[in-house]
Amino acid sequence: MRVADLSIKNYRGVRNGHLRFKSHVVLVGGNNTGKTTVIEALTLLLGRDRLIRDLTEHDFFGSDPQPADRMHLVATITDFDGEDPNAHPDWFRDGRAVPKWWDEKTGMVNATQTNASWRLCCQIGVQAYFDRPSLTVEVVRYFHDHDELIDPFDEDTPVGVPPKLIQQFGFFLVRASRTWDRVLSWGSELFRRTLQAAAAQPSGAILAQRDRLRAPERAIEDDPHIAPLINSVNDEVARCIAGSPKLTLRVTNTDSRSVLDAVSPHYTVGAGMSVPAARQGSGLISLQGLFLLLELGRLRSEAGEGFTMALEEPELHLPPATQQQLVLRVQALSSQTFITTHSPTIAAMADPTSVLMLRNVDGTLTAAPFLTEKLANNAASWQRKFYQHSRAEVIDALMHATVLIPEGRSDHLLLKTILRPLMLRQEWDGEHAYSFGLDVGVVPTEDAKVLEIARDFLRIHPRVCCLVDGDREGHRYSRELLDLNQPVITVLRWPDGYEIEDVIGWILQADVTSIVGLSSDIPALDGADLAGVISHMKAKKCDVVLYEAVAEVISENQACRERASELFQAMTSACTGVASARYVMINQVWIFQP
Amino acid sequence: MTITVFSGGAGCGKTYQLMYKLAETIAATPPKAGQKVLALTFMHGARRRLDEQLAAVPGLARRYECTTLDSFASRIVRRWQSLAIQLGARVPAETEYDDMVAVAAILLANREVVLWVKTSFPILVLDEAQDLTRSRLAIVQSLATELTSLIAADEFQCLEPALRPNPAWEWLKEQKDHIALDKPLRTSVSALLDAASALRSGLRIQTGRGFSISCTPKPPMAGGFLNTYIAGLKGRGLAVITPTFKNYSDSVVAWTSTRSNARGLGPYPIKWEQSETRMVEEALAAITLPNNATPAQARHALSAVGDIALSRDLMTWFDRLARTRNAPVITKEALEERIQIICANRRRFQPPLARGIKAMSVHGAKNREFENVVVLWPAAVTGDDDQKRRLLYNAITRAKSECLVLVQLQKHLNEPPFA
């Protein structure tokens, strides 16, 4: 079984949202777009009760729910073996779900199967409302029979989803805020469940520990430091109570339950002393916890039970290689996974059609797959380079509020190389180049496919900007981009006759003496003037050594640094549609004003 | 799927046989985990009695769901709403019972819906099948294609003239596994048995020990007669049964309830078992509500309602409206509908008061039994001869020990159903 789609109404930052899922989903999006909201919505729908957090007014969109306002979630569950409702009596019968049919192509749910490719599905709904008189949020989870209005709190009495089915579905969640140090002990439900499924109580060892604690070799009360006190207590007791009981001091309550409760996980490295988990680095602990969870997943899938795992930010505490290994293991062992991440590395390794780019515009949440379908064998070479080889960089750029598509790789490289030392040198106030780095993600465009990439990105990103040269081609690109008739596209163009190298020239011009510093790294530029530097840069596109040398020169010189800063700040403004002294809109195109 | 039919007159043990067969069936093929027996009835009173009988079936151990056909139909429609809409049906309101049944019949014509029911309910038990209207019958027939069905019926106990010839009977009598029961078990009073069989055959009925007929034209006379009779019962159970409430019967019951007769016997308070519609009418008459009232106004108006249980249920409803809707208003129509639903539910869940003497319609007496029965037979009983025989049959066969018939018009004694 897996979740085929999810619709969200009035939940947290989402007024309205609809998402469709494949088997191994990776949710990518800026902060506050709703990655966690999606995971928490799935938890409300499919999680066991103890996974579900108490809801408050803040869980409703707008935080001020009126009596008639409902939070409303619906998930479509599909992938029932054999596609026959009668083969799944636990799910489909009177008192349980009504069978429905899911059209994978359109995402529509139908009442009857009129097309053989439609898959058997059922829908689970959750509604909640804020009950003003009691100041509590009432929640129900039920089988969602139809899309007509169902109000479980007013007129209707829907059919609840029994815990048995929730258990069968097997939804497990690892939140971003993890408390792993208690996971490997009997206090943790996960541990007990895994133990139950995978092994047996280590009863022999526990009983041996109990007996040892009952009759310790060196009893505490016999220690000469404490013995006088104990003895006088015993004497007092003997005076008052016949058959005087004797005081002894024991570790734990000396029954097996207390021994289990007292067990605390430790880790030993090499021949060293074992150290309690709470004092270990978070990486080791979270890894152990995850592996325990995966072990449970393995056992469940062996037993033919469902195992769906939602994992928030697997990159936490772990080095990149481990992150990747972990994600692969999770995906291999689960019938379905939901992973949220801020890590382009993780997003880039997943199936690109399963990577969902979330966007939230005024409460409307949408999710589009990074690619709608896998790259065909005959895909153009720029597509392979851009979407496969540079995927991590592309996804990285898409994680920004604005994505900027320059004409070529060299623009991407040059902008990034110059920005980096500027950000390192930024001071508490004055220079604002860093906002470019935070707000604008630049992609490594291949083969000047500005138009093609912009068209692709419109599907997945709310704010797409393009940056073109001030030549004939650049004019043509700007025309074609504007012809796309998409108000979300912002076009930036260098002034006529300018390419990015000329703009760098403009920065260096702030203090031409600065270019003297270039010759130490680039002997060819020994004695070159500004024009020479510019033409050298144009001849040596994507030369990292050259770019870094230029970047260093700029960052070392205050006048140049200020200009560069001004450029980045102006670009950030133009990208968000704000005019500045350096950017003016002419015929719908933002033109840089050197 | 198999269909087993039990038929036979009142008191022949149809229900008993039904339960016996059910015990046999579940012993042979025990229901799987989560599965139950589905028992359908018509009225809520009957549901309660069937529920009690099912509770006593050995091996069943409460693995049954006893519900009225109409609630079952409304559940099917509610859950399969999207299929109903796809099939072009309109989804009726909760109180449109007949429409609801019709849509459920359309839905259950689909095998997937029947299988969905069967997965939970492999066995169907249905008593009084002669009362099935065409669309209710269609529901049962669809269920019977897949569910093991145990059905009891007596064509002669059908009181609905529109159901003649009786469609359910036409279907049931064709079933191969049909057990006709003809040995009366309810009573051994021969006069009662003879009268019943005479009515079935359309013959003149004879009185005798345990069954008598008197002509009492005026309500005070009938009332006085009734008082004497009640006094003689010394507290043994009695039901007053009549084909129509109006005029004569109402007056007789009122007289007995408030007056003593010439011999100083009485008064004996008798309570009418109210029909659902009458309960709703009375409640509505007691409430004066401004148009589009707020919950607070409605709450205030409720103080005039004598029925504490009803006003408590309405309060709960007002409270829920106030909690779950923005600025709710209560219209007369909504209030009426709500009172209807509450009354229907009440009949579903609350047993009628067991104490005291009750008066009821023949319809309300169906399928019940009382130690003693007094039938009030007013001048105006509508229907053809056959219908009148059925009415009287249903009334007198409720008695286990004794039955007294008080007839308003002397001349009726020489007409059907009496002759």
With vertex at residue B315, the alpha carbon angle to CA B311 and CA B317, rounded to the nearest 5 degrees, is 120
Please check whether residue B33 touches A, CB under 8 A. Answer: no
Region label for A170, one of left (φ > 0), alpha (ψ between -120 and 50) or beta (otherwise) = left
Burial class (CB in 10 A: 0-12, 13-18, 19+), B285: exposed
Reported as half-sphere exposure (CB side, CA atoms, 13 A), residue A466 has a value of 34
- CA neighbor of B86 nearest in space, from A318, A147, A443, A404: A147
Please check whether residue B296 touches A, CB under 8 A. Answer: no
- B residues 301..340 contacting A (CB < 8 A): 320-326
Chain A residues within 8 A of B324 when measuring between CB atoms: 67-68, 129, 151, 153-154
Pick among B72, B74, B79 to test the A interface (most A CBs inside 10 A): B79
pLDDT of residue B353: 53
Cβ atoms of B275 and B361 closer than 8 Å: yes
pLDDT value at A178 more than 80: no
* B52 φ, ψ (degrees, to nearest 5): -60, -40
CATH code of A2-174, in short, is: 3.40.50
pLDDT value at A317 more than 70: yes
Please check whether residue B108 touches A, CB under 8 A. Answer: no
Mean pLDDT of chain A: 90
Cβ atoms of A51 and A43 closer than 8 Å: yes
pLDDT of residue B247: 84
Please check whether residue A217 touches B, CB under 8 A. Answer: no
Q: What is the pLDDT along chain B (419 residues), one digit of tens a residue?
A: 699 999 999 888 898 899 999 999 999 999 998 899 999 988 766 777 788 889 889 888 889 999 889 999 999 999 999 999 999 999 998 888 899 999 999 999 999 999 999 999 999 999 889 999 999 999 999 999 999 999 999 999 999 999 989 999 999 999 999 999 988 887 888 999 999 999 999 999 999 999 999 999 999 999 999 999 999 988 888 999 999 887 899 999 999 999 999 999 979 999 888 777 777 787 888 888 888 888 888 888 887 777 788 888 888 898 999 899 988 888 888 888 888 888 777 765 555 555 678 899 898 888 888 899 999 999 988 899 999 999 999 999 999 999 999 999 999 899 989 98
| pTM assigned to the model | 0.86
Partners of residue B65 on adjacent β-strands: B38
pLDDT value at A189 more than 80: no
pLDDT value at A520 more than 80: yes
**Chain-chain contact of A90 with B322 (C-beta, under 8 angstroms):** no
pLDDT of residue A244: 77
Please check whether residue B83 touches A, CB under 8 A. Answer: yes
Mean pLDDT of A166-171: 90
Distance from CA of A39 to the nearest CA of B (A): 27
| Reported confidence tier of residue A433, pLDDT bands at 50, 70, 90 | low
Kindly list the domain boundaries of chain A, sorted by start residue: 2-174, 204-263, 379-592
Candidates B91, B112, B121; nearest CB to A99: B112
* E strand or H helix at A386: none
**Chain-chain contact of B82 with A151 (C-beta, under 8 angstroms):** no
| Reported confidence tier of residue A100, pLDDT bands at 50, 70, 90 | very high
- Tens digits of residue pLDDT in A434-479: 688 888 999 999 999 999 999 999 999 989 999 999 999 999 999 9
- Tens digits of residue pLDDT in A277-314: 778 777 777 777 788 888 888 888 888 888 999 999 88
* A209 φ, ψ (degrees, to nearest 5): -60, -40
Candidates B32, B112, B325; nearest CB to A68: B325
At residue B205, the 3 state secondary structure works out as: coil
pLDDT of residue B349: 55
CB pairs under 8 A between A and B: 80
